[in-house]
C-alpha cells in the first residue's frame, strides 16, 4: 500500500498533523519543559518539541523544494525558537505544523519528493509526519501524566505503517537488527480488545517477515485496548504493563521489540 492509497487519505493526514500537534501543545501547556521524557530519556520535553517541529519543517522544505536527494537536516537539528519562553515554543510548534501541512496540501499525494523509503512521494511524508507526531505526543502525554487515546482509524494506521516500515527496512537491508527478524515458525498476534477487526498476524519466516490483518493463532499474542497495543508496539509502554496482556512466548515479543526499532 502506498500513502496515496491509504484509506485515511492525503487530506486527512494533512489535517491530522495539525490536530495532533495541537494536542501535543496542550500537553506542554503549563508543564516543566526541562523534565526528562521517560520514553526518550535523551530528551527533555523542550527537546522533544523541538524535534517534532524540526521534523515538520524539514519535511516541508523537502516537499516544497521537490528535493530528489537527501537534504541537510538543519531544520531537524535546529535549537528551536529564540529564547526559552514557553509561549515562543508553543508558537514555533504551531508554525512548524502549519508549514508542513500547507506544503503537503499544495503538493498533493503524488508529487515526487525524496524519502528514505521505497515510495518517493509527498504522500509518504504526509502519513509519516502524522504518525511521527502521534507517537511523540504519547511521549509528552506520559511525561506530564495526561490521558492519551487515539481515534481507532489513526491507531490502526499507525500500526500498519510501522509494519510496512519494518518490512521495507528488512528487505532493503538497511539495519542489521532487522535481518534477525526471521523464523522458522515464529509469529506474533496483535489483538485490540476494544475495536472490531483490529488484529494483525506477523510471521517471521525464513525469507523475512510478512504480515496481514486477521485473527489467527501465533507463538505470542499481545492483547489490550488498541491505543495501548500500539504504544507497546512502539515501545512507549512496557510489554508487562497492566494495560495489556501477553499470552504465549513473551520472549519472542521482546525479541521483536528490541530489533524493530530504528532511529
Give the pLDDT band of residue 5 (cuts 50, 70, 90): low
pLDDT of residue 6: 66
pLDDT at 70 over 50: yes
pLDDT of residue 4: 46
Q: How far apart are CA 215 and CA 228, in angstroms?
A: 18
Q: What is the mean pLDDT of the chain?
A: 93
pLDDT of residue 263: 58
pLDDT at 8 over 70: yes
State phi, psi for 242 to the nearest 5 degrees.
Answer: -65, -10
Q: How far apart are CA 25 and CA 43, in angstroms?
A: 17
pLDDT at 71 over 80: no
In the chain, the percentage of residues whose pLDDT exceeds 90 is 84
pLDDT digits (tens, 9 = 90+) for 152-208: 999 999 999 999 999 999 999 889 999 999 988 899 999 999 999 999 999 999 989
pLDDT of residue 250: 98
CATH H superfamily, domain 161-259: SCP2 sterol-binding domain (3.30.1050.10)
Q: What is the dihedral of CA 78, 79, 81, 82, to 10 degrees?
A: -130
Give me the residue spans of the domains in the chain.
3-148, 161-259
pLDDT at 75 over 70: no
Topology of domain 3-148 in CATH is 1.20.120
pLDDT digits (tens, 9 = 90+) for 108-139: 999 999 999 888 999 999 999 999 999 999 99
* DSSP of the chain: --GGG-TT-HHHHHHHHHHHHHHHHHHHTTS-TTSEETTEEEEEHHHHHHHHHHHHHHHHHHHHHT-SSPPP-TTTT---SSS--HHHHHHHHHHHHHHHHHHHHHH-TTSB---SSS--BHHHHHHHHHHHHHHHHHHHHHHHT------HHHHHHHHHHHHHHHHHHHHTT--HHHHT---SSEEEEEEESSSTT-EEEEEEETTEEEEEES----SEEEEE-HHHHHHHHTTSS-TT-TTSEEEE-HHHHHHHHHHS---
Amino acid at each position: 500500500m502506498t500513502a496515496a492509497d491509504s484509506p485515511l487519505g492525503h487530506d486527512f493526514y494533512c489535517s491530522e498533523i495539525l490536530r495532533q500537534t495541537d494536542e501535543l501543545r496542550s500537553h506542554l501547556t503549563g508543564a516543566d519543559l526541562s523534565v526528562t521524557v521517560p520514553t526518550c530519556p535523551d530528551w527533555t520535553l523542550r527537546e522533544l518539541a523541538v524535534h517534532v517541529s524540526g521534523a515538520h519543517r524539514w519535511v516541508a522544505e523537502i516537499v516544497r523544494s521537490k528535493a530528489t536527494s537527501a537534504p541537510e537536516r538543519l531544520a531537524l537539528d535546529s535549537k528551536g525558537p529564540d529564547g526559552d519562553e514557553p509561549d515562543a515554543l508553543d508558537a514555533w510548534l504551531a508554525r512548524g505544523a502549519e508549514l508542513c501541512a500547507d506544503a503537503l496540501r499544495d503538493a498533493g499525494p503524488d508529487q515526487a519528493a525524496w524519502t528514505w523509503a521505497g515510495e518517493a512521494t509527498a504522500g509518504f511524508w504526509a502519513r509519516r509526519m502524522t504518525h511521527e507526531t502521534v507517537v511523540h505526543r504519547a511521549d509528552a502525554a506520559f511525561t506530564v501524566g495526561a490521558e492519551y487515546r487515539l481515534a481507532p482509524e489513526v491507531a490502526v494506521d499507525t500500526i500498519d505503517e510501522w509494519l510496512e516500515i519494518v518490512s521495507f527496512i528488512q528487505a532493503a537491508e538497511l539495519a542489521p537488527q532487522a535481518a534477525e527478524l526471521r523464523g522458522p515458525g515464529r509469529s506474533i498476534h496483535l489483538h485490540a480488545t476494544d475495536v472490531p477487526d483490529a488484529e494483525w498476524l506477523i510471521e517471521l519466516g525464513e525469507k523475512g517477515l510478512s504480515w496481514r490483518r486477521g485473527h489467527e493463532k501465533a507463538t505470542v499474542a499481545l492483547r489490550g485496548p488498541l491505543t495501548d497495543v500500539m504504544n507497546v508496539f512502539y515501545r512507549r509502554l512496557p510489554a508487562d504493563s497492566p494495560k495489556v496482556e501477553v499470552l504465549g512466548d513473551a520472549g519472542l515479543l521482546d525479541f521483536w521489540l528490541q530489533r524493530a526499532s530504528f532511529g
